[in-house]
Amino acid sequence: MSGEAQPPGGNSGFFRIAGAGSALAFGAMVASLFALDHGPSGFSFRLNAPTIIAFVVAAAAGWYYWKLVARMATDKAPAQRRKKFIVFSVGLVLVGAVGFFYPMKFIPPEKRKDVFIGLALAFGVLSGVALVMRKVIKFLDSDLKKSEQEDQPPH
């Protein structure tokens, strides 16, 4: 990010780490989809040229996404940049959903019901954890605001 405006609070290191981690993870996820192949046990992984190309393209997309996030944090984002960010975010969510559901085609039909029950339970548990985390964050934010107001000297 040299030569670019720095995000508020000097978070350029955070954006680099988040960008690199997301790029590697997104690249690996998409590459694993390209490497999936039918095998005797249901599926197997085969490393080939399309897998490597998919990794590079997806990793670049993941890196670019965090560049958009860093730019939006740096200054007021114009409407065009916000629109690009939203479109890119929706695209990444859709690719993530495809990445999640695509391997389901390798599950034998007689086992799909059990898998979907497990997925529904996992979704319920994770939703519950997210709800609890949201409540804790709201509580901590309100407590922080309250303590900051108490620390303010009277006018």
Does 4 or 55 have the greater pLDDT score? 55
Percent of the chain with pLDDT over 70: 88
CB atoms within 10 A of CB 27: 21
**Beta carbons of 106 and 38 less than 8 angstroms apart:** yes
29-83 pLDDT, tens digit each: 999 989 988 777 667 788 999 999 999 999 999 999 888 888 877 766 677 777 8
What is the C-alpha separation between 134 and 132, in angstroms, rounded?
Answer: 5
How many whole angstroms separate alpha carbon 82 and alpha carbon 68? 9
